[in-house]
Amino acid sequence: MPWLSWWDLDGNLFLSGEERAEKEYQRAEQERQKKDRLIAQLRSLDIEPEV
């Protein structure tokens, strides 16, 4: 099914609601993974983080 996309004058794509939600989900997942890695590093140094 064809899909119409919109671009602004600077060439930036306007995301659909679903695309924005997916992008936000991916960003949140990356932040969670980063937090988990930092917690693991602290624990490897015998520091118990307050989460």
Provide the residue ranges of all domains of the chain, joining segments of one domain with +.
Answer: 15-44
Indicate the pTM of the whole model: 0.70
The letter for the amino acid at 7 is W
pLDDT at 26: 98
Rounded Cα gap, residues 9 and 41, in angstroms: 45
How far, in Å, are 4, 13, 14, 39, 46 from residue 9 at the CA level?
Answer: 16, 10, 11, 43, 53
| Mean pLDDT, all residues of the chain | 94
Of 2-6, 7-11, 37-41, least confident by mean pLDDT is: 2-6
pLDDT tens string 13-34: 999 999 999 999 999 999 999 9
Q: What percent of the chain has pLDDT over 70?
A: 98
